[in-house]
Structure 1
Amino acid sequence: MPRTSIFKIISYWPPFLVAGIKVRKYVSEEMRLEVAMNLRFWNWNHERAHFGGSLYSMTDPFYALLIRENVPEKVQVWVKSAQIRFRRPGRGIVHAVFELKPDQLEKIQSELSSHHKSEPEFHIDVLDSNGKPVAEVKQIVHVSRI
């Protein structure tokens, strides 16, 4: 199975399918993808806003997957640490954009060459349909040669 197909099928992975998390757009040449989640009765909290665990879940694997997809050598990639800060209740559709910039990829590859590992930090904004922040996520992704 080609590696890029993960972004086509991950919306059907049971945890994402149940939460309503979907990859809306993936542009491999730009190393960019957009993820969205609809509010449904099974993923809202007691205030009828998006459940915080689902908000984090919609951000969890994507930078790790983008790195694995774009680093040409065999690497082990996983989220080493993450923090989430909730800004306001999210209702309706929320979305996040993930973009691995060329200079970030070059730095990862350079650190892999010199230190055999890299631990880049990424910041993700989860926004509502009006572009207002619902949550901010900070991730450190561990990348090492196999």
Structure 2
Amino acid sequence: MKPPAWLFRFLLNLWPPFLGAGIRVKRLAADFSDIEVQLKLSFGNRNYVGTHFGGSLYAMTDPFFMLMLMHQLGRDYYVWDKSGSIDYLKPGRGTVRAHFRLTPETLDEVRRHTAHGDKYLPQLLVDVVDQQGEVVARVHKTLYVKRKKR
């Protein structure tokens, strides 16, 4: 049995890599279709020049698309992170946020591509934005999805 969204959010916020970096899950939809994550600039995630450490920016985006898809598709699917990359577009200062969304169209596409047991590698994007709404970094994620044999 998977925990309800409120409990999952609570546990993610206590997860040592997130807790240590100052990453907070601010909102998690009950159906796992929408997640908002934030990272405040602090001594623990500041780099040598006083802006957000790039590793913390990537860490705040790393597991969410995989977790969302796992919960949305259920136990009949394998879902793994296959690859990821990040483009740093401007220095991150202050509080930054990432807003993850999985649309019904994306879920339909995944189900359609995996219906006959084929693997599918959806590519998803999320922007990390600052308090002014400007994009600080763009994260590209490729997932591995395959329907389990019955």
TM-score between the two structures when normalised by the length of structure 1: 0.93
Secondary structure of the 1:49 match is: coil
Secondary structure of the 1:34 match is: strand
> How big is the alpha-carbon RMSD for the aligned residues of Structure 1 and Structure 2?
1.5
Q: Which residue of 2 aligns with 1:6?
A: 8
- 1:13-57: CA deviation from partner (whole Å, max 9, x where unpaired): 100000011110111347111000111101110011010000000
Secondary structure of the 1:125 match is: strand
- Percent same amino acid at aligned positions? 38
- C-alpha contact 2:93 2:130 (8 A) present in aligned 1: yes
Q: Which moved more, 1:110-119 or 1:82-91?
A: 110-119
- C-alpha contact 2:98 2:127 (8 A) present in aligned 1: yes
TM-score between the two structures when normalised by the length of structure 2: 0.90
2:123 to 113, 121, 126: 121
Q: Which residue of 1 aligns with 2:83?
A: 81
Question: Aligned ranges for residues 103-114 of structure 1 at < 5 Å?
Answer: 103-114=105-116
- Between the aligned partners of 2:110 and 2:120, the Cα distance in structure 1 is 6
Question: Aligned ranges for residues 39-78 of structure 1 at < 5 Å?
Answer: 39-78=41-80
Number of equivalenced pairs? 146
After the TM superposition, which parts of structure 1 deviate over 4 Å for at least 4 consecutive aligned residues? none
Unaligned residue ranges in structure 2 (runs of 5+)? none
- Between the aligned partners of 1:105 and 1:8, the Cα distance in structure 2 is 25
Q: Which moved more, 1:24-33 or 1:44-53?
A: 24-33
- 1:71-125: CA deviation from partner (whole Å, max 9, x where unpaired): 0343222211111110111111100000000000011111121243221110110
Q: Which moved more, 1:76-85 or 1:110-119?
A: 110-119
AA of the residue aligned to 1:43: N
